[in-house]
Amino acid sequence: MPLVVSIHRRLHGLRQSHEVKFYWDKSHVGIEGNELADQHAKEAASTTAEFSYAAYPICYPKRLIQLEMLVEWQREYTEETTGSSTKHFFPTIDDAKLYREIFGISFEMTQLFTGHGFNKTYLKRFTIINEDTCPCDNRAPQTMRHLLQDCPRYDCARYHHRRSCQQHEVPDFDLNAIAKQSSLIKSFTEFVKHIISNLKAFNGTT
């Protein structure tokens, strides 16, 4: 690493007064600098000594800081007592990042993954309504998971999604598996949008 840093500095200095170009030679044979590089590479590969570097590229400490930050972020995320709905879908920070890339950010998907929205459990939590039971049976709490997996109001839309999953031999709500098939991503997203777009009318709050 110190040698690489030194080379970078020398090249940067040369660029101030010279035009620096790089050429690729097909063979090292007969070229003094290349043969010397081969020799040093072989020596480095065969040595058992531990190297101690006093200099390294700036990307190295940045990477260490990033890794430490992710570990701390994951610890806080795991230990936090709130956000159970989100953690159900995303057990780790990496899961959340992956699903954001795959499913994107939308009003409907955000309501599903956070549990925030017009579902009755959320509305009762903030004392907007008095009851959190779903109109489908007036017994089950109307959580986003209930609407997604169990509520008979959405049986027809759920059936289409389940058929798509069966064709690919994928569990209905296994996001890790769904995320690997573009057709299932579309099916799942459309099902979620259908739930959210009809929820106010279902709950009689329009």
Q: CA-CA distance, 171 to 114, in Å (whole number)?
A: 22
Model pLDDT for residues 125-173, shown as the tens digit of each residue: 999 999 999 999 999 999 999 999 999 999 999 999 999 999 999 999 9
Q: Note the pLDDT of residue 132.
A: 94
* 98 close to 179: Cβ distance less than 8 angstroms: yes
pLDDT at 27 over 70: no
Q: Note the pLDDT of residue 175.
A: 87
* 57 close to 4: Cβ distance less than 8 angstroms: yes
pLDDT at 57 over 70: yes
Q: 57-61, 138-142, 200-204: which range is least confident on average? A: 57-61
Model pLDDT for residues 96-107, shown as the tens digit of each residue: 888 888 888 889
Q: Note the pLDDT of residue 13.
A: 84
pLDDT at 56 over 80: no
Give the CA dihedral 125, 127, 133, 139, nearest 10 degrees: 90
pLDDT at 28 over 80: no
Provide the whole-model pTM.
0.64
Of all residues in the chain, the percent with pLDDT exceeding 70 is 92
DSSP result, 59-84: HHHHHHHHHHHHHHHHHHHHH-SS-H
b/e sequence 32-54, b meaning 16+ C-beta within 10 Å:
eeeeeeeeeeeeeeeeeeeeeee
Kindly report the average pLDDT of the chain as a whole number: 86
Domain parsing of the chain, residue ranges = 2-56, 82-203
Reported as a pLDDT band with limits 50, 70 and 90, residue 196 is: very high
Of all residues in the chain, the percent with pLDDT exceeding 90 is 44
* 165 close to 172: Cβ distance less than 8 angstroms: yes
Tell me, what amino acid is at 88?
H
